[in-house]
Structure 1
Amino acid sequence: MSARRRIPDPPSLRRTTAMLRHLLPAALAVTLAAAPVPSRAQAPEAALPDRTLHIMAGFAAGGTSDLVARLIADGVGAVTGRRVVVENRTGANGFLAADAVVRGPADGSMLFQCPMGTMTISPELPGMIMPVDPRKDLVPVANVALSSYGAVVRARGPYQDMADVLKAAKAKPNAISYASAGIGTAQHLTGERLQRMAGVQMLHVPYRGAAPAAMDVMAGRADFMVTNLGDVVGQIRGGELRLVALGDASMKPAFPETPLLSDTVPGLEVVGWFGLCGASGMAEPAIRAWARAVETALQDKTLQQRLRENGLTPRFEEPTAFAARIEQDRRAWGEVISAAKVRVD
């Protein structure tokens, strides 16, 4: 038999084959470049400076604000592998710490532990001198926790519930006193709201902080106060103070038998929060990196438990939602300040 003769390819087929040989390597390179490749750029710490990170806390060590700062510092440190240090710079209602952040690098290495009062009440108070403008100089990064408030009275005093306090206040205007951590604080302004909404007149007694105010309530020198639960939860559990009302429902699981303030005064609710803010101009990738690290840290069960033990509810909010909360609360507290004609000198 004769050998089978090979029929040559048509010219058009030869040209197509040559073209494919030329194009395939380039197409493959483009495909590989576009494909997602796992890298450290996707990890929260990638956009943060590769050095010690700082959270500036504006209130003294041992308080609720300081506690939240240290818990989230530990959590973020575990997530990012960075060392996160809390520095306490007290004074000016937290603004000395804020000023340190504003004057520091805006690269994500330093954040301000921003509480509700500093961010929403102080900017609305006539006469308040602030070294920084929270609206212009700070940028919201993440909310960390809600801070429940509660109304407390002396455990062995005459008042069993909030209705008893208001009944006495109606019977003798300005005879019932309420303590606060100072003029223009959330405790003071909540008392102003309570008076207006309940139709009573009470005597405001300001102190230099929640601790001395609580001491005088326990001693009977002030009748009651509405304050951050974290500042008095130890005295409540120790039987020195009686919790007669909760400012909101977030701590109901811990105190199921305690009514809400709104049960006695419809519409009255108070809840604080603690978040993190950076200097204006902080890079967007660093903001997102911190937010992701906080969100991840707050998923830890031990951290959640530590917060709840101190009257706090873990509550992550990303930058946009946190910014909206700040603006909403700023308007609400501004209305209270205006109606009560509160000012600081």
Structure 2
Amino acid sequence: MKFLCALALSMTALSTALAADVYPSKSITMITAFPAGGPTDTNARLLGRGMGDDLGQAIVIDAKPGGGSTIASNYVVQAKPDGYTILYNTSSLLLGKLMYSAAKFDPLTDFVPVARTVGVPLVVAVNPSVPAGDLNALSELAKSKPGELNYASSGTGTIDHLAGALLAKQLGIDMMHVPYKGTAPALIDVAGGRVDLMVATLNTLLPYFRDERLKPLAIASLNRSPLLPDVPTVAESIGVPGFEITAWNGIVAPAGTPQAVVERLNLAVNNVLRDASFIKQYHDSGAEIYGGGSEDYGKYLKSELERWQTVIDDIGIQPQ
């Protein structure tokens, strides 16, 4: 019996080592939950090119949008856990589970974390016609006409939806949520004056700030951004220390993916994140670069899931 147990352990170790030696032997499909051309897709493609160079195999980006990201997540959960189908995820991996009954997975047990990649703070932006120059003025405006102020998001259950709802709660105001199918149409309508405001990522909004199609009121980061030095943080504006909402990205694989494969993917991610040209592109867009080990990312996912569950419960948003 001892011999058989030892043999089994040896075979497991050997198979893991072999997986590391030959992986990857073909292209890898990286699933995203958002449409082509959007910020998440752009991030995935940029990282994918670098990872492909490091791994010696192409990373093929396959967008499967819809269902609050549950379509993409459900797809990867059912994929073979061999490292050839991975998910470029955002906070929607967690929010999709919390907000949609169609999510047939547990984000902590049905996936294995690979690495957290980058994050971008969210910014409160209004159409220039909105007579408010800061959050306090926005609060006064909303209270002067209850229920009339509205905010756009990229969809129900997304981080920008919940960020807007959380902001309204902190300000003690009532705002109507206007969900869109993606960030691009939401931006068009806010810039066009059909919707009053939105809470979106800094990199998405920067071009609109530069040509004054939108006006920034506050940034949801711990410190002011060097790209918007005159824009206060939300914490500064409303006196809520530590108020921070970041749209972060990362990579996960199906549960059961060999540890050696996870480690090789993690190494590729971290090698890209250390590349000077990659760092410059992301810093120029206001992003923060993370990296680190797969265990670090796993702990972060757990803490974020708990955080957003509390936010959803406090705000009173009902899952769909």
Assess same fold via TM > 0.5. yes
Give the Å deviation of 1:306. 2.1
Give the Å deviation of 1:63. 0.7
| Matched residue SS, 1:205 | strand
| Matched residue SS, 1:85 | strand
Residue pair 2:129, 2:193 contacting (<8 A) in 1 also: no
Give the Å deviation of 1:92. 2.0
- Output one character per residue of 1:275-303: Cα deviation in whole Å (capped at 9) or x when no partner: 00000000001111111111111111211
Identify the residue that residue 138 of structure 1 maps to in structure 2: 111
Give the Å deviation of 1:241. 0.9
For 1:344 and 1:331, locate their aligned partners in 2 and report how far apart those are by CA, in whole Å. 16
Q: Decide which of 82, 94, 97 is 1:120's aligned counterpart.
A: 94
Identify the residue that residue 279 of structure 2 maps to in structure 1: 304
TM-score by length of 2: 0.87
> Structure 1 regions of 5+ residues with no counterpart?
1-40
Identify the residue that residue 329 of structure 1 maps to in structure 2: 304
Identical-pair percentage? 27
User: Which runs of structure 2 are paired with 1:199-210 in the superposition (5 Å)?
Assistant: 199-210=172-183
Residue type matched to 1:122 in 2? G
The question of 1:77 aligning with 2:47 is answered no
Residue type matched to 1:317 in 2? G
| Matched residue SS, 1:86 | strand
For 2:143 and 2:189, locate their aligned partners in 1 and report how far apart those are by CA, in whole Å. 22
Give the Å deviation of 1:196. 2.1
Identify the residue that residue 104 of structure 1 maps to in structure 2: 79
Q: Decide which of 266, 269, 272 is 1:294's aligned counterpart.
A: 269
- Output one character per residue of 1:234-291: Cα deviation in whole Å (capped at 9) or x when no partner: 2222321112211114771222221111111213321120100000000001111111
CA separation of 1:99/1:196 partners in 2, compared to 1, >3 Å: closer, same or farther? closer
For 2:173 and 2:64, locate their aligned partners in 1 and report how far apart those are by CA, in whole Å. 39
Identify the residue that residue 288 of structure 2 maps to in structure 1: 313
Residue pair 1:179, 1:204 contacting (<8 A) in 2 also: yes
Residue type matched to 2:96 in 1? S
For 2:223 and 2:27, locate their aligned partners in 1 and report how far apart those are by CA, in whole Å. 34
- The CA RMSD measured in Å over matched residues stands at 2.1
Give the Å deviation of 1:78. 1.9
- Output one character per residue of 1:193-240: Cα deviation in whole Å (capped at 9) or x when no partner: 222222222222222222222222212222211112233232222321
Give the Å deviation of 1:76. 0.9
Residue type matched to 1:71 in 2? L
Identify the residue that residue 259 of structure 1 maps to in structure 2: 232
Residue pair 2:74, 2:103 contacting (<8 A) in 1 also: no
Identify the residue that residue 213 of structure 1 maps to in structure 2: 186
For 2:230 and 2:62, locate their aligned partners in 1 and report how far apart those are by CA, in whole Å. 38
Give the Å deviation of 1:324. 1.2
The question of 1:165 aligning with 2:115 is answered no
The question of 1:63 aligning with 2:38 is answered yes
Identify the residue that residue 86 of structure 1 maps to in structure 2: 61
Identify the residue that residue 161 of structure 2 maps to in structure 1: 188
For 1:269 and 1:314, locate their aligned partners in 2 and report how far apart those are by CA, in whole Å. 16
Residue pair 1:48, 1:107 contacting (<8 A) in 2 also: no
For 1:255 and 1:45, locate their aligned partners in 2 and report how far apart those are by CA, in whole Å. 44
The question of 1:154 aligning with 2:127 is answered yes
> Structure 2 regions of 5+ residues with no counterpart?
1-16
Identify the residue that residue 235 of structure 1 maps to in structure 2: 208
For 1:236 and 1:93, locate their aligned partners in 2 and report how far apart those are by CA, in whole Å. 28
Residue pair 1:49, 1:107 contacting (<8 A) in 2 also: no
- Output one character per residue of 1:100-149: Cα deviation in whole Å (capped at 9) or x when no partner: 322322121221011112x2212222x53114332332111101101221
Instruction: Compare CA radii of gyration and give the structure with the larger one.
Output: 1
| Matched residue SS, 2:133 | coil
Residue type matched to 1:88 in 2? A
Residue pair 1:102, 1:280 contacting (<8 A) in 2 also: yes
For 1:97 and 1:204, locate their aligned partners in 2 and report how far apart those are by CA, in whole Å. 25
